[in-house]
């Protein structure tokens, strides 16, 4: 899809659908007033007065234009209450508009004015960025295996006459973010037979402008990442450790490591999952997909930070060489781990990736993982859990989440969580022995490998894959954390 910022009178814009936003208890101003005039007052007289269009958030109304203006149809969209409009709602509206224009109206060319500008605290840049980000999310389809494909929007125009440059900048960043999110969604939606550790490695190697190295099984063994390797033993797929590095042009303000859990399939291993729980476990590489999405676009975003992106990619399978409950393994940092449950495999792969990051002389380590079912019990699909050892880092990521229209909710790390992973035969074990609190005992486990470096852990088990539409993101892979981590990186 092409996105462009244009300057023109609304009545003269030739497109299939022109979109105008209206606040609740509609008082016509801005683009809606301009269109109303050009349409001889149809909007005020018929849509609002007679049809009682209330402009509640997300409500729509479609009008034919009968050649009174250049556009074929007008899509009126309710913006809800002015004081309630925020970045997340702007993104959601962008997504809903794209979906409506695409699936219902079968439009090829759409034009809208950046609604929401001028509202307290939201700049034209922010509004345009959020809307365009939403448009890309809403127009996304995973249809490469469908015989019959539906048509798609080809051009989306943003009409802005007063400050086209600011709109242009917002649209550009919004488009990059949306594309990064969709790269992640594609990787997650692909079946595990396609997206193997090898496939993730090849995808990483194809990203231009990064220094990328991929370590194979032997090299991972030589490094001493035996916790990661143990998880891979039951699988016919070779594990791959992926390290991508982005270096900014000037002196970097910071060095940041981002780590994505890269289980291309999690059967549970010998502690096999029941069918229902295994069904979507191709998505257990959503953290890795997020990292690849971000790194695919980082050269266009040019943040002033050095970024090391790490993925320990493997499957967790119950093959005859599989690691077993009761095994004791040694991680890269020398700590020994008793395997209490082979389905708590993500933390074993992350343990080595975090220990590897801690040796890289980075200022911050952020890991993103579909780590625990317990986090879904705690927060549902509506938010990711965030934990860590540095409150400032956690606060800044939560703030970046507000810009990226994603919710991160902090969960506590108490000394009891560290006690819960004590083992009688090894330094720690890979499950907690407390009743409940599984998201926190998993984080307490990861903390053991941070070497006290600033670290935040984001558990995306809930929002990574949606069972139903949420705030504009349709059912399926969401690409969660891509947008917010990009916001975090460019804010540095």
Catalytic positions, written as ranges: 273, 347
Using CB under 6 A as the binding rule, the residues of this chain from 232 to 271 that contact ligand BES are 266
Provide the minimum distance between the beta carbon of 210 and Zn ion in the complex, in angstroms, as a whole number: 26
> How many other C-beta atoms lie within 10 A of the C-beta of residue 28?
17
Applying CB under 5 A, among 160, 166, 343, 364 the residue interacting with Zn ion is 343
**With respect to Zn ion, which residue has the nearer C-beta, 179 or 266?**
266
Asked if 459 interacts with Zn ion (CB under 5 A), we say no
- Chosen from ligand BES, Zn ion, none, partner binding at 373 (C-beta under 5 to 8 Å by type): ligand BES
Provide the minimum distance between the beta carbon of 345 and Zn ion in the complex, in angstroms, as a whole number: 5
Asked if 476 interacts with ligand BES (CB under 6 A), we say no
- Chosen from ligand BES, Zn ion, none, partner binding at 374 (C-beta under 5 to 8 Å by type): ligand BES
What the block records as the tokens of 66 is: 């009968």
The span of 140-148, 178-186, 348-356, 365-373 binding ligand BES (CB under 6 A) equals 365-373
Provide the minimum distance between the beta carbon of 353 and Zn ion in the complex, in angstroms, as a whole number: 14
Burial of 242 (0-12, 13-18, 19+ CB in 10 A): buried
**With respect to ligand BES, which residue has the nearer C-beta, 114 or 438?**
438
Q: Which residues pair with 310 in a beta bridge?
A: 243, 259
144: CB partners within 8 A, 6+ apart: none
Asked if 481 interacts with ligand BES (CB under 6 A), we say no
Binding string, residues 278-307; x marks residues near Zn ion by CB under 5 A: ------x-----------------------
Q: What are the φ and ψ backbone dihedral angles of 6, each rounded to 5 degrees?
A: -125, 160
Burial of 29 (0-12, 13-18, 19+ CB in 10 A): exposed
**With respect to ligand BES, which residue has the nearer C-beta, 75 or 421?**
421
Provide the minimum distance between the beta carbon of 316 and Zn ion in the complex, in angstroms, as a whole number: 6
- CA of 72: how far to CAs of 16, 39, 115, in Å? 5, 12, 20
The span of 37-45, 276-284, 350-358, 460-468 binding Zn ion (CB under 5 A) equals 276-284
Report the distance separating Cα 149 and Cα 192, nearest Å. Answer: 23
Provide the minimum distance between the beta carbon of 363 and ligand BES in the complex, in angstroms, as a whole number: 29
**Would you give the DSSP letter of residue 334?**
S
Applying CB under 6 A, among 36, 232, 372, 481 the residue interacting with ligand BES is 372
Report the distance separating Cα 125 and Cα 171, nearest Å. Answer: 8
Report the distance separating Cα 373 and Cα 380, nearest Å. Answer: 10
Provide the minimum distance between the beta carbon of 177 and ligand BES in the complex, in angstroms, as a whole number: 24
Report the distance separating Cα 79 and Cα 167, nearest Å. Answer: 19
Asked if 370 interacts with ligand BES (CB under 6 A), we say yes
Asked if 157 interacts with ligand BES (CB under 6 A), we say no
Applying CB under 6 A, among 59, 304, 341, 396 the residue interacting with ligand BES is 341
What the block records as the tokens of 480 is: 């969660």
Applying CB under 6 A, among 124, 332, 374, 486 the residue interacting with ligand BES is 374
- Chosen from Zn ion, ligand BES, none, partner binding at 153 (C-beta under 5 to 8 Å by type): none
The span of 22-30, 88-96, 158-166, 367-375 binding ligand BES (CB under 6 A) equals 367-375
Contact 448, 373 (CB under 8 A): no
Q: Which residues pair with 75 in a beta bridge?
A: 19, 62
Tell me the residue length of the chain: 492
Provide the minimum distance between the beta carbon of 177 and Zn ion in the complex, in angstroms, as a whole number: 27
Radius of gyration of the chain (CA): 24
β 305-316/254-266 pair status: parallel
- CA of 62: how far to CAs of 30, 39, 82, 337, 397, in Å? 18, 13, 22, 61, 39
Three-state secondary structure call for residue 230: helix
Asked if 266 interacts with Zn ion (CB under 5 A), we say yes
Asked if 423 interacts with ligand BES (CB under 6 A), we say no
Asked if 381 interacts with Zn ion (CB under 5 A), we say no
**With respect to Zn ion, which residue has the nearer C-beta, 15 or 460?**
460
Binding string, residues 266-305; x marks residues near ligand BES by CB under 6 A: x-----------------x---------------------
Applying CB under 6 A, among 345, 367, 381, 448 the residue interacting with ligand BES is 345
* Residue 124 parent element (H or E): helix 124-139
Report the distance separating Cα 137 and Cα 124, nearest Å. Answer: 20
**With respect to Zn ion, which residue has the nearer C-beta, 207 or 263?**
263
Provide the minimum distance between the beta carbon of 464 and ligand BES in the complex, in angstroms, as a whole number: 7
Using CB under 6 A as the binding rule, the residues of this chain from 21 to 80 that contact ligand BES are none
Burial string for 197-227 (b: 16+ CB within 10 Å, else e) reads bbbbbebbeebeebebebbebeebeebbbbb
CA atoms within 13 A on the CB side of 113: 27
Contact 85, 126 (CB under 8 A): no
Site of interaction with ligand BES (CB under 6 A): 266, 284, 341, 343-346, 370-374, 376, 431, 438, 461
Site of interaction with Zn ion (CB under 5 A): 263, 266, 284, 343, 345-346
């Amino acid at each position: 899809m092409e996105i462009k910022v244009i300057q023109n009178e609304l009545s003269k814009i030739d497109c299939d659908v022109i979109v105008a936003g209206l606040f609740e208890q509609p008082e016509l101003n801005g683009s809606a007033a301009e269109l109303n005039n050009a349409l001889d007052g149809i909007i005020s007289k018929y849509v609002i007065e007679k049809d009682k269009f209330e402009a509640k958030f997300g409500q729509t109304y479609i009008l034919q234009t009968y050649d009174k203006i250049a556009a074929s149809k007008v899509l009126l969209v309710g913006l809800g209450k002015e004081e309630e409009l925020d970045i997340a709602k702007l993104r959601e509206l962008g997504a809903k508009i794209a979906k409506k224009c695409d699936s219902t109206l079968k439009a090829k060319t759409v034009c809208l004015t950046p609604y929401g500008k001028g509202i307290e605290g939201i700049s034209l840049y922010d509004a345009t960025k959020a809307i365009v980000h939403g448009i890309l999310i809403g127009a996304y389809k995973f249809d490469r295996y469908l015989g019959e494909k539906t048509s798609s929007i080809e051009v989306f125009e943003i009409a802005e006459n007063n400050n086209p440059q600011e709109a242009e900048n917002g649209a550009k960043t919004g488009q990059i973010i949306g594309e990064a999110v969709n790269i992640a969604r594609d990787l997650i939606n692909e079946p595990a037979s396609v997206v193997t550790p090898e496939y993730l490695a090849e995808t990483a190697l194809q990203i231009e402008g990064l220094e990328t190295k991929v370590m194979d099984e032997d090299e991972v063994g030589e490094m001493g990442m035996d916790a990661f390797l143990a998880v891979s033993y039951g699988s016919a797929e070779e594990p791959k450790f992926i390290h991508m590095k982005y270096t900014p042009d000037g002196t970097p303000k910071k060095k940041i490591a981002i780590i994505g859990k890269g289980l291309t399939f999690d059967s549970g291993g010998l502690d096999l999952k029941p069918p229902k729980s295994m069904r979507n476990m191709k998505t257990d590489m959503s953290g890795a997909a997020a990292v690849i999405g971000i790194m695919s676009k980082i050269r266009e975003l040019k943040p002033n930070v050095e970024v090391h992106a790490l993925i320990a990619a493997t499957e967790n399978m119950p093959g005859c060489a599989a690691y077993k409950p009761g095994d004791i393994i040694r991680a890269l940092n020398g700590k020994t781990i008793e395997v209490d449950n082979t389905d708590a495999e993500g933390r074993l792969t992350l343990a080595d990736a975090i220990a590897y990051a801690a040796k890289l002389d980075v200022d911050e380590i952020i890991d993103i993982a579909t780590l625990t079912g317990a986090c879904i019990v705690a927060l549902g699909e509506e938010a990711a859990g965030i934990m860590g050892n540095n409150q400032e880092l956690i606060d800044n990521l939560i703030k970046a989440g507000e810009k990226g229209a994603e919710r991160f909710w902090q969960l506590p790390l108490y000394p009891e969580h560290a006690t819960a992973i004590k083992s009688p035969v090894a330094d720690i074990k890979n499950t907690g022995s407390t009743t409940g609190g599984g998201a926190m005992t998993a984080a307490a486990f990861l903390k053991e490998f941070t070497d006290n470096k600033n670290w935040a852990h984001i558990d995306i088990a809930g929002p990574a894959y949606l069972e139903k539409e949420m705030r504009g993101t349709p059912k399926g892979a969401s690409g969660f954390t891509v947008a917010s981590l990009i916001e975090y990186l460019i804010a540095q």
